[in-house]
Each structure stands twice: as structure tokens, then as C-alpha cells.
């Protein structure tokens, strides 16, 4: 069965410093992986996706993630945090061997950015 583990429920960084949000996955098949961001009382916005092409994926707002099969990881990074990055981030796996509709969400990581 597929699953997603976000290792930190809360990450706090200072503005201008790097961001690292960690995600490990478990999947029986070749997974598709996504990172979504959720601002308070809003829906989810897609940051980036991995679908078995390049292992380093660039997304919007300066975020990127690297797929590492040997470590079953898909960590999200950004070189320099901005105040507007404060939000909740979800790592998501979609198992190509399973239902087309079934996205599996991690529990989320809340990112705080201090001035």
C-alpha cells in the first residue's frame, strides 16, 4: 500500500534563509509525486510534480524537489524563504497501479517564516 510521511509537522525559518520540508513515500509501483501548498482558509495550489521524468523538479515561487528512489524521498526546498511562503505544505503520492482518483496526502508541514 502506498503512503506518505512528512517528517516535520512544523518548520520555522527566518526570512532569507533556506527552506527544507521533508517527505518520504512508500509505493508498490512507480509513483507520481506532488507538493501542494495551502494558505489559510484556501484550497490547495500545486507547487510541482514528479512523473518519472527528471529527478530534480522545479516548481512555482522558487521551490524545487528532488526525487531520490534509493531513499524513497521527495524533499521540498527553496534557497531563500519569503514571508509569503508561510503556509501549510502537503506531500502527495498518486500510485499509478491504483485508482486514478486516489491521491494519498501526508499530514502536512506548517511553515512559519520569521522576519
Q: What share of the chain is helix, strand, coil (3-state, %, to 5)?
A: 5, 55, 40
Choice between 36 and 113, CB closer to another protein = 36
**Which residues, including other chains, have CB under 8 Å from residue 82's CB and lie 6 or more apart?**
15, 113
The count of residues interacting with another protein (CB under 8 A) is 27
* Shortest distance, position 29 Cβ to another protein, whole Å: 10
**Which residues, including other chains, have CB under 8 Å from residue 33's CB and lie 6 or more apart?**
23, 25, 49, 50, 65, 67, 74, 91, 92, 93, 94
Contact flag: residue 45 with another protein (CB under 8 A): yes
Choice between 16 and 97, CB closer to another protein = 97
**Rule CB under 8 A: which of 80-99 touch another protein?**
90, 94-96, 98-99
What residue ranges bind another protein (CB under 8 A)?
32, 34, 36, 41-46, 49, 51-52, 90, 94-96, 98-108
Amino acid at each position: 500500500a502506498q503512503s506518505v510521511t512528512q517528517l516535520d509537522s512544523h518548520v520555522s525559518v527566518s526570512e532569507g534563509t533556506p527552506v527544507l520540508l521533508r517527505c518520504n513515500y512508500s509505493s508498490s509501483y512507480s509513483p507520481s509525486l506532488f507538493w501542494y501548498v495551502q494558505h489559510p482558509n484556501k484550497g490547495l495550489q500545486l507547487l510541482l510534480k514528479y512523473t518519472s521524468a527528471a529527478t530534480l523538479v522545479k516548481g512555482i515561487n522558487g521551490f524545487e524537489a528532488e526525487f531520490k528512489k534509493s531513499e524513497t524521498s521527495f524533499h521540498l526546498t527553496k534557497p531563500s524563504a519569503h514571508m509569503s511562503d508561510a503556509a501549510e505544505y502537503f506531500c502527495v503520492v498518486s500510485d499509478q497501479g491504483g485508482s486514478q482518483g486516489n491521491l494519498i496526502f501526508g499530514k502536512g508541514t506548517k511553515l512559519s517564516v520569521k522576519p
